Amino acid sequence: MAKISACIISYNEEKKIEACLESLEGIADEIIIVDSLSTDKTREIAEKYTSKIYEQKFLGHIEQKNLAVEKASYDWILSLDCDERLTDELRQSIREVKDKLQQADAYRVARRTFYVYRWLNHCWYPDYKIRLFNKNTARWAGVNPHDHIEVDGNNIITLQGDLLHYSFDSISEHIQTLDYFTEIGADEIIKRNKKVNMFSPWNHGFWTFIKLYIFKRGFLDGYAGLVVAVLSGTHAFVKYNKVLFKRWKKQGSDSIN
């Protein structure tokens, strides 16, 4: 039977990390945590479940997660965020494939998000994520902060059961994260020299709202679905505007010099 290394990155997650680690009991053969110098009790809590805790100043979501994978002793990686946990059904699904992991290139799971006061069953669901993979043929990639697993093959099996995601505890927290992530996203777009014009914020923002609220039927998630669709559209709108403003600001600075 193959062994599984659970890999997690953390920073000040004392409120959520224990539930995540508890859900790994009986599933993971080792737990690797790369912590970005937490100042709360994250490490103290994590030490109850593993001694393999590594401190690393935050390098970026993709870089930090790949570092955790590098620290793993086993080839098969189960990657979670601190605000995620396995349901009993998903745990059972992993047990059932653990002795035949090689039948697939990787495994994906449906992620169900709890938003402030309720579960989202439409606008952010099923939100499939590859989270169980072989580190020799897959890796974290994408554009920060939106990372994803890149696999060398295309035989991806979907596991039964949900990965529970306890996202935002308040709208204020969502807005703070929106500002943080749009800053990272805008810098990545600039670094990649992606073409952005004055229509980009409006097009991306409007399309994101329509996709979540209409096509994903976010309206069935009640008022929370409307808020999520609006703030998701706002996320895209703000990110592309930040790109424009940063470029214009640099052009103005360069013209002065």
Per-residue pLDDT, 207: 98
As a whole number, the mean pLDDT across the chain is: 96
User: What are the structural domain ranges in the chain?
Assistant: 4-166, 171-256
The closest alpha carbon to 125, from 217, 214, 210, 207, belongs to 217
User: What CATH superfamily classification does 4-166 receive?
Assistant: Spore Coat Polysaccharide Biosynthesis Protein SpsA; Chain A (3.90.550.10)
**Each residue of 49-91: pLDDT tens digit?**
999 999 999 999 999 999 999 999 999 999 999 999 999 999 9
pLDDT at 146 (0 to 100)? 85
pLDDT tens column, 138-190: 999 998 888 999 999 999 999 999 999 999 999 999 999 999 999 999 999 99
- On the question of pLDDT at 256 being above 60, the answer is no
- The structure tokens listed for 150 are 């890149």
Backbone angles phi, psi at 219, to 5 degrees: -65, -20
Contacts of 5 (CB under 8 A, 6+ apart): 28, 29, 30, 31, 32, 72, 73, 74, 76, 77, 78
